[in-house]
Amino acid sequence: MMAPLYEFGRFGDGTGLVIAVLLGIAFGWFLEQGGMGNARKLAGQFYFTDLSVLKLMFTAIVTAMLGLFWLSWAGLLDLSRVYVPETFIAPQLVGGLVFGVGFATGGLCPGTSCVAAATGRKDGLALIAGMFAGVFVFGEAFPAIGHFADSTARGAWTLPQAVGLSYGTVVGVMVAVALGAFAGAEWLERRAERPAHRMKIAA
């Protein structure tokens, strides 16, 4: 049986929507378990005191990346039928910067704000309201800025294509970068725990 199952007609849209709810439940469960519904914990990422965001995100990326790689290597999954977010260089760089400033200000991202709100955090609700406002502002501004938003399009462009290395090599490099990032994150957290450094932050 070849994956993706939906792409090969193994089930229809109705079943796909049920799967959406079930995958969402598991996604929300693990986000809350990892503390991602708590803005104070997330904000620790930006002051090098709690790097859970980096650890959780990078672990999730590497897990799914390795799964895709091995399933495709074993001939069980057709990678060409898996959606790759398209590249728009300039709008993604500018959008990323704006998003990042919003992330540090709001302390939650769009997905985690839903978990924060679900567990009673009023700041999660306020952030959701802000997201709706921001999307509406963008929608109303689209006739003016749509040209920029659609610029520097590169389609479904992947890192192996961009750097001219094999898929397996890039996957290996990503795993090495992740392990290095985890070691750095652990070191930063231990450093933040030291009394001398705590006083320096407070001063």
- 177 in contact with other proteins (CB under 8 A): no
Using CB under 8 A as the binding rule, the residues of this chain from 110 to 149 that contact other proteins are: 110-124, 126-139, 142-143, 145-146, 149
x/- site string to other proteins, residues 64 to 103, per CB under 8 A? xx-xx--x-----x---xxxxxxxxx-xxxxxxxxxxxxx
Q: Do residues 113 and 37 touch, judged by C-beta distance below 8 A? A: no
Using CB under 8 A as the binding rule, the residues of this chain from 46 to 65 that contact other proteins are: 46-47, 52-53, 55-65
Question: Which residue in 9, 12, 17, 172 binds other proteins (CB under 8 A)?
Answer: 17
- 158 in contact with other proteins (CB under 8 A): yes
Residue with smaller CB distance to other proteins, 156 or 194: 156
Q: How far apart are CA 2 and CA 12, in angstroms?
A: 16
Q: Do residues 68 and 82 touch, judged by C-beta distance below 8 A? A: yes
Question: Which residue in 9, 12, 16, 190 binds other proteins (CB under 8 A)?
Answer: 16
Q: Do residues 4 and 78 touch, judged by C-beta distance below 8 A? A: yes
Q: How many chain residues touch other proteins (CB under 8 A)? A: 127
Token pair recorded at residue 17: 């929507």
- Closest by CA to 33, choosing from 114, 115, 126, 107, is 115
- 104 in contact with other proteins (CB under 8 A): yes
- 168 in contact with other proteins (CB under 8 A): no
- 176 in contact with other proteins (CB under 8 A): no
Q: Is 77 helix (H, G, I), strand (E, B) or coil?
A: strand
Q: Is 120 helix (H, G, I), strand (E, B) or coil?
A: coil
Question: Which residue in 9, 12, 27, 200 binds other proteins (CB under 8 A)?
Answer: 27
Q: How far apart are CA 40 and CA 155, in angstroms?
A: 37
